[in-house]
Each structure stands twice: as C-alpha cells, then as structure tokens.
C-alpha cells in the first residue's frame, strides 16, 4: 500500500535486464568492437521506449541515477554562468527539489515557492505574478508524491513559454500515468525515475528539450558522454530495465488506470461506510487514481501504522521520513498540525489485488475502532 514510495521490479523487466549483466556486458561507449556496439544498440532501443511515452526522440533523454539527480541537473544545470538567477517552485514539491533550491539560495540565487489552494493545486496566476526579468526556470511536479494531485502543467507550460522561462516538470509519479506529451504541454525539462514505474532503483532520466539544451551545463563532468550533459559509463542493464518498464507502462496504461480506479473506489467506499470521520486530502478529481491520502479524525497516524504492522502505510514522503514533523505538504493545504498528524498515504499499483484491498479495509477499520475507543 505504498507504491508512491517505490514499486517492485516487474518480472518481465528483470527478464529483459538479465542478459546485460552477463553475456552482453560490453561498454556502450566502446564502439570499436561488437560487444560495445551491441550494448549501445540495446540502449538506443531502451531510450526510444522511454522517449515514446512523452512524445520525444531518444536523443533528448539524458540518463541519470534517478529523479533526484535529474532534478539537480535540471535546476542547477540550467542556471546562467556567473550570474544570479531567480527560480520558482511550489511549497508542496518533493524534497529533492526543495533541498536543491535551498542550497541554491545559500549560493545567492533567489527562490520563490508559491502556495497551493486547499485542494493542493497550484494557481498559474500565482506563478505568473512571481515571474521576474531574472526568472530562469519554473519547476513543478506533475503528480504530487504525497497527495496524488495532478498539477495544471499544461497551463503552466504555456505561461512559461510565453514568458521565455524554462519549464521543468518532476514527473517521477506522473510518467506513464497521466498524459505528458512534452510538445503539447510546452515542457522543456522532465525528470523521470525507473523505480516508480516497476523498473530498477538507481536509474532515471532527464528529458532535455531544444530550448533547454542550449542553456544546459553538465553537473557530472568527465568523458563527455550523453552529449556532454552527464559523464560516466551508462549503466546498460539498468537502462534496458528502465526502457522495458516504460514500454510496459505505455502498453498497459489504459487498462491499468481502469483497474486501479476500481480498487481505489472499493477501498474508499468501504472505509467511508465502515469508519466515520474519514476525509480525503487533496483534490478529489484532479488526482492520480493510485493514491489516496486520508485523514482519520481523532486517530494519530503513527499509532495507526503501529497497530497494522502487516500493512505498508505511510505518513508522507519516504525521502523526509525520520523527521517527526507533520507533513509540510498537508500543512500547505491548510491542515492544522494535528490534522496533518492524522493523515496516511495509501498507494495502489500493478501488483495490488482486490483481496489486499479488503484485508487492508478490515485491518484499518479494526485499528481505528480500537484507537478511538
């Protein structure tokens, strides 16, 4: 029940990866011999699979170690050299963006974090009002990792394009799940993570479009691989797995959305029927179907999770876990610290079954009843 934190690697993805650990181990940059050429050609196919999901070509994909590195490359790599710039993002962004922006602020760059409404959505007018002559980039998540809401990235893209500001989308949660055609949505940069789409951990990508490419500088320098944007030998097995995972996301997107919508509705209606005082955090309709962020009145979420150790529930982002503070995202929606501490995130995915949903309902209902009692 925690698919926003990570996903299992699909067995079909594992199968696609295996030969590239052993027989086909060539260095994809050693194109003087057939071992290298085989690896390079396999990577080309994988990159095309990733690019296809967002309507771009393989040459626009820069492989990274994950979405955290992709976010760093997008934000740091697009800054003008030797000048201070202004960057815009939102209070509800992922820690890999917020932490990077905080570091850039220490370096003297100016940062604006816009607020969100009670549904967790960004108002494009607030972003427009924040744009200055020095604004270099606007960075926004497609699908929020805690509350699952889908931000108005199409409107934001058009706005940024009209103001000659780069538009970066952190699509770790959105890739293959919501329509993210890069050209239609005027997206210049997009971060992707393989382990959120049933691929391996340790690999991701940054899409770099034409407007961004001329302004980008590598953050990992060395041998000039990947068009000079990210040096280092490309991890062939991980990329093959990433490509296969992306291909499967696209192939199965429509049926998977319908299946998850059914499971989500089953979970939600049973919980509401069996437990009073359950509230949904974040927009009800602008939402990825695989996420429910729920608040149980008079129930401390940490106590709830302790009572259901067999369920993988979460109070928020794994990347800030360990911090006992209530979620910053929920606070930005206007929830009090107490309300935020009563909230849990539930994530459904490819391997979630009806039986698991029913067991989760039974366990949560029982635990909430005991805690309230």
**CB of 42 or CB of 197, closer to ligand PLP:** 197
Q: Which stretch binds ligand PLP (CB under 6 A): 54-62, 78-86, 192-200, 289-297?
A: 192-200
- The residue among 78 and 145 lying less far from ligand PLP, judged by its C-beta, is 145
Of positions 196, 230, 295, 328, contacts ligand PLP by CB under 6 A:
196
Q: Is 204 in the site for ligand PLP (CB under 6 A)?
A: yes
CB of 165 to ligand PLP, least distance (A): 21
Number of residues that bind ligand PLP (CB under 6 A): 14
Is residue 94 involved in binding ligand PLP (CB under 6 A)? yes
Indicate the residue among 196 and 247 with the shorter CB distance to ligand PLP.
196
DSSP 23: T
Residue written as token pair 């030797």: 82
- Judged by CB under 6 A, the residue of 104, 141, 240, 346 near ligand PLP is 141
Stretch that binds ligand PLP, among 131-139, 165-173, 209-217, 306-314 (CB under 6 A): 165-173
The angle formed by the CA atoms of residues 221, 227 and 228, to the nearest 5 degrees, is 20
10 binds ligand PLP (CB under 6 A): no
Which pair of tokens denotes residue 224?
């000039």
Is 160 annotated in the active site?
no
172 binds ligand PLP (CB under 6 A): yes
In the bound state with ligand PLP, the residue whose beta carbon lies nearer, of 67 and 74, is: 67
Q: Report the half-sphere exposure of 35 (CA within 13 A, side-chain side).
A: 10
Q: Which of 131, 305, 319, 371 is catalytic?
A: 319
Q: Does residue 200 touch ligand PLP according to CB under 6 A?
A: no
CA 315 to each of CA 14, 24, 43, 292, 326: distance values in angstroms, whole numbers, following the listed order: 30, 42, 37, 11, 8
d(C-alpha 5, C-alpha 173), whole Å? 10
Which CB atom, from 38 or from 173, has the smaller least distance to ligand PLP? 173
User: Which parts of 232-291 interact with ligand PLP (CB under 6 A)?
Assistant: none
Residue 67 interacting with ligand PLP (CB under 6 A): yes
Q: Which is nearer to ligand PLP, 67 or 211 (CB)?
A: 67
Nearer to ligand PLP, 26 or 199 (CB): 199
Least distance in angstroms from the C-beta of 170 to ligand PLP: 5
Q: Taking CB positions, which residue lies at the least distance from ligand PLP?
A: 66
Q: Helix, strand or coil for residue 119?
A: coil
When asked if residue 89 is in the footprint of ligand PLP (CB under 6 A), the reply is no
Give least dist CB 190 to ligand PLP, A: 11
Residue 168 within binding range of ligand PLP, rule CB under 6 A: no
Stretch that binds ligand PLP, among 16-24, 118-126, 188-196, 268-276 (CB under 6 A): 188-196
Q: Sheet with 291-296: list strands edge to edge.
A: 278-280, 291-296, 343-347
Q: What angle do CA 138, 139, 143 make, to 5 degrees?
A: 135
Is 170 near ligand PLP (CB under 6 A)? Answer: yes
CB 330 within 8 A of CB 340: yes
The neighbouring-strand residues paired with 166 are 137
Q: Helix (H, G, I), strand (E, B), or coil: what is residue 258?
A: helix
Measured between alpha carbons, how far is 371 from 373 in angstroms, rounded to an integer?
Answer: 5
Cα–Cα distance, 224 to 219 (Å, whole number) = 11
Q: Which two three-digit tokens encode residue 281?
A: 């955090």
CA distance to 251, 290, 372, per residue, from 63 (Å): 22, 26, 49
State the Cα–Cα distance between residues 185 and 91, nearest whole angstrom.
22
Give dist(CA 191, CA 354) in Å, integer. Answer: 32
Give the binding site for ligand PLP (CB under 6 A).
66-68, 94, 96, 141, 145, 170, 172-173, 193, 195-196, 204
Q: Which residues are catalytic?
A: 319
């Amino acid at each position: 029940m925690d698919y926003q934190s990570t996903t299992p690697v699909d067995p079909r993805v594992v199968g696609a990866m295996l030969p590239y650990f052993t027989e086909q181990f060539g260095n994809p940059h050693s194109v003087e011999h057939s071992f290298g050429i085989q690896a390079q050609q396999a990577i080309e196919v994988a990159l095309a699979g990733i690019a296809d999901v967002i309507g771009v070509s393989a040459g626009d994909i820069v492989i990274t170690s994950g979405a955290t590195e992709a976010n760093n490359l997008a934000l740091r790599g697009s800054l003008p050299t030797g000048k201070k710039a202004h960057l815009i993002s939102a209070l509800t962004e992922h820690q890999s963006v917020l932490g990077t922006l905080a570091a850039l602020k220490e370096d003297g760059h100016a940062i604006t974090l816009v607020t969100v409404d009670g549904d967790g959505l960004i108002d494009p007018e607030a972003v427009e009002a924040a744009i200055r002559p020095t604004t270099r980039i606007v960075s926004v998540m497609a699908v929020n990792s805690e509350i699952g809401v889908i931000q108005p990235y199409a409107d934001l893209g058009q706005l940024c394009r009209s103001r000659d500001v780069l538009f970066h989308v952190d699509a770790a949660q959105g890739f293959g799940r919501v329509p993210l055609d890069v050209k239609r949505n005027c997206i210049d940069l997009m971060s992707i993570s393989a382990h959120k789409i049933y691929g391996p951990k340790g690999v991701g990508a940054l899409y770099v479009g034409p407007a961004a490419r001329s302004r980008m500088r590598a953050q990992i320098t060395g041998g000039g691989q990947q068009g000079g944007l990210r040096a280092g030998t490309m991890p062939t097995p991980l990329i093959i797995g990433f490509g296969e995972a992306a291909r499967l996301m696209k192939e199965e997107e429509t049926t998977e959305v319908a299946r998850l919508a059914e499971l989500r509705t089953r979970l939600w209606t049973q919980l509401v029927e069996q437990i009073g005082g359950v509230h949904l955090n974040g927009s009800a309709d602008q939402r990825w179907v695989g996420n429910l962020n729920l608040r149980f009145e008079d129930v401390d979420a940490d106590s709830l999770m302790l009572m259901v150790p067999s369920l993988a529930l979460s109070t928020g982002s794994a990347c800030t876990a360990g911090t006992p503070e209530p979620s910053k995202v929920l606070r930005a929606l206007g929830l009090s610290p107490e309300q935020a501490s009563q909230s849990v995130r539930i994530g459904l995915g490819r391997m979630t079954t009806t039986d698991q949903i029913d067991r989760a309902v039974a366990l949560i209902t029982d635990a909430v009843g005991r805690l309230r009692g």
